Chains A and B, each alone.
Chain A
Amino acid sequence: MNPAYSVIFFTTASGAGYGLLALLGLTASSVGQSPSLAFVLVSMVLALALITAGLLSSTFHLGHPERAWRALSQWKTSWLSREGVAAIVTYPFALAFGLAWSGLYPAPDAIAPLGVITALLSLITVFTTGKIYATLKTIRAWHQPLTVPVYLFFALASGSALHLALSAFFTRDPGPVAPVALLSLGTLAVLKFLYWRAIDQAPRDRTMGDATGLGDHVRQWEVPHTTKNFVQREMGFVVARRHGKRLRGLFYILLLVAVLLELLAITIPLVSIIAFFIVFISAWVERWLFFAQGEHVVTLFYGNAQA
């Protein structure tokens, strides 16, 4: 699949945003009123800004952004629609939570329930995003049990890394999220390892012969058109195996560096800012690979022997 930057940006930015939001909600609901108004304001604004920027960027790749509202209508069947609904529904709760938590609108009793609801909605939104991909039978690498967990843990890892960074900046204290950050990074590494192993081991047992009904010995002789069409551009992207391997390696290295930095942050809190950026970059690498290595079954019609 063609790794469209708007979509990569959307999923990574809003992932980090929702992750942060979820962690804010959860920590707030357990810790209560924030020690620092600045922290609350900045982290809430940042979370919502990341989410909003991501959502906006995802509308940029729409042919008709002005009709985007229509995407809310099919929540009964479409995960994309559900994502939209979940995203929208999250906003008022997140705002209410932010107001309460920051004390701008004093409602201490509401913090915990609002925090939990916001966290839940954030995770649901990320879940729906993951589902969009995981339910596509046409792309074997996405149609995997681990697709959704990876999305969720990426949200948590990048959200928690950001949380760490913000805490460090405002409170010089890694805060309660440090273990979550480390744990989610570790889980992510494991999940991603398992995911990649799964897609590498999954038999590419759909053949050009199945697609065309022409049996085992079929090969493409002539393309329908001599210049590439939409389907080839969108679905036909391939990344060289070698290249893919290197990027996977890079991903692990980035995760490792992030873990080390987050550990280091226990003593030098500000390092966690760097850690966040490293996690964010790793998210980009992972997401790019997720697309680039998402082999679409339609490529069988365009010369791919197996998918």
Chain B
Amino acid sequence: MTALPQTTSKKLGLVIDLDTCVGCQACATSCKEWNTQGYSAPLADEDTRGADPHGPWLNRIHGYEVEDTNGKDSRVVHFPRSCLHCETPACVTVCPTGASYKRAEDGIVLINPDTCIGCKLCSWACPYGAREYDVQEGVMKKCTLCVDRIYNENFEPEDRQPACVKACPTGARHFGDLGDENSAVSQLVKERGGFDLLPEMGYKPTNKYLPPRAKRDTPQAGIEALPKGDGSAMDRLFKLADRLLSGN
């Protein structure tokens, strides 16, 4: 189990657009909500009313600030982070029980909640912080790519997508088969220069991030500066008003 499949027929994953994400947390709470009652339920919280409320979340939104090279201008980037369903993830191979596995069919990396012993080694092996331990359940939790939604026949076909993708109000999250070059997500990655996180770690993430686009704050091509005031602005306006009357 802990051995990785040689290949997977599909490479299902997410493409997250950092140029569009506003950091609204919809994907995070929708994920928590679906997955606390779906596969591997629940995601139990600690100290919910107290000083230190915390619990497992399968998707978290970071906020980073990027300075321009001149150190002055900057941009805030909201950065959702969940399991990247890597192609060669050590989180799976280190698992002593076989609870962690990668599905041969679609590449989804899952944890079997019935066999996980909660040793946490897989969370150490994940560079992306995607695995979170559930103290109350005593097992590891991670993004399931909503495996219990995407094939769920109780949903209308258009709802068969991850909870986070369905929720995202800006449409910054995309779901699809990244193994298929012609899929919409693959095209998007190509067009927008989608990239891998920490590629040198060799985990080969399936999920891709689309970079924030270059800012368009320089004058757009074809826009001419407005004429500067030369004291005759009133005249110009009068002429304009005149033209209106003559219908030109």
Task: Please say whether the chains A and B touch (CB closer than 8 A).
Answer: yes
* Residues in chain A within 8 A of chain B (CB atoms): 1, 61-65, 67-68, 70-74, 76-81, 84, 132, 135-139, 206, 208, 210-215, 217-225, 227-231, 234-235, 296-298, 301-302
- Cα–Cα distance between A64 and B138 once the two chains are bound (Å): 6
Check B96 against A62 for contact (C-beta < 8 Å): no
Chain A proximity of B51: nearest CB distance (Å): 8
Check B3 against A219 for contact (C-beta < 8 Å): no
Interface of B: prevailing SS: loop
Check B53 against A218 for contact (C-beta < 8 Å): no
Chain A proximity of B6: nearest CB distance (Å): 14
Chain B proximity of A276: nearest CB distance (Å): 30
List of B residues within 8 angstroms of A217 by Cβ:
66-69, 71
* Residues in chain B within 8 A of chain A (CB atoms): 1-3, 18, 28, 52-57, 60-69, 71, 76-77, 79, 81, 90, 93-99, 115-121, 123-129, 131-135, 137-140, 195-198, 200-202, 209, 211-212
List of A residues within 8 angstroms of B120 by Cβ:
61, 234
Check A74 against B1 for contact (C-beta < 8 Å): yes
**Can you list 20 A-B pairs with a CB-CB distance of less than 8 A?**
A61-B119, A63-B117, A64-B117, A64-B139, A67-B115, A68-B117, A72-B96, A73-B98, A74-B2, A80-B96, A80-B121, A84-B96, A132-B94, A210-B200, A213-B211, A218-B64, A219-B65, A229-B60, A231-B132, A297-B127
Check B2 against A78 for contact (C-beta < 8 Å): yes
Most buried by B among A62, A68, A224, A234: A224
Interface of A: prevailing SS: mixed
List of A residues within 8 angstroms of B200 by Cβ:
206, 210
8 Å CB contact of A77 from B3, B119, B140: B3
Check B61 against A224 for contact (C-beta < 8 Å): yes
Check A229 against B1 for contact (C-beta < 8 Å): no
